[in-house]
Structure 1
Amino acid sequence: MSTSRPYTLRVAGDLRARIEAEAAKLECSPSDLVRRAIEQHLDGRKLLEGSERRHLRVTEYMQVALDAIIRENHPELRETLVLEADRRMKLHHGA
């Protein structure tokens, strides 16, 4: 006996199109995609592919290494670099 039950959800047309496009890309149904997204959100974790995980780890390593080099060799530039990084995040990523 299945414990799943229907749940009705209204989404704007543009969001529906994005859901359907992503589901097609991942070769799953829109319902499966929405279920996965809700589970990920509620679980508070992202399911990353191995290459994505590696990319994130390498990026973090590079940032730590660069920060150590800057602190040691050019401490006077650190605050300027952090401010510029923040400016670029807002400009390019809206964050």
Structure 2
Amino acid sequence: MKRSKFARTVRFEPEHLQRLEQLAVDQNRSMAEILRSAIIQYLEGHQRFSASELRHLRVAEYTQVALDAIIREEHPELRDTLVLETDRRMERYHGAR
């Protein structure tokens, strides 16, 4: 007899479990839903975006390209400073390096 679903036990580091539990509460979803969604996204290798999300991403990219062109043309001396400040803020506010 072939089963269509399988149950597994997964162990998490305490800080990861706490973050997952908070995410479930914030999204009013069960832990199982959060985990299944994360696994599916990981296995698919990409997140599918809605048309609205893609439009926002496109506008953001366009804005970045346009500003970079303006800065390169009109204020090239500021570009390196702006890139360094962007990197600093990305790390400070978003944990990105």
Q: Which of the five TM-score ranges fits, normalised by the shorter chain?
A: 0.7 to 0.9
TM-score by length of 2: 0.72
User: Deviation per CA, 1:52-94, whole angstroms, max 9, x where unpaired?
Assistant: 3322221111001101111111222211111111111122222
- Quote the residue 1:77 is aligned against: 78
TM-score by length of 1: 0.74
- 5+ long unaligned stretches in structure 2: none
- 5+ long unaligned stretches in structure 1: none
Matched letter for residue 65 of structure 1: A
- Superposed CA RMSD: 2.4
Change (3 A) 1:40 1:80: same
Task: Give the alignment of 1:1-95 within 5 angstroms.
Answer: 2-12=3-13, 15-16=16-17, 18-23=19-24, 26=27, 28-95=29-96
* Identity level (%): 51
Change (3 A) 1:28 1:89: closer
Alpha-carbon distance in 2 for matches of 1:87, 1:13: 29
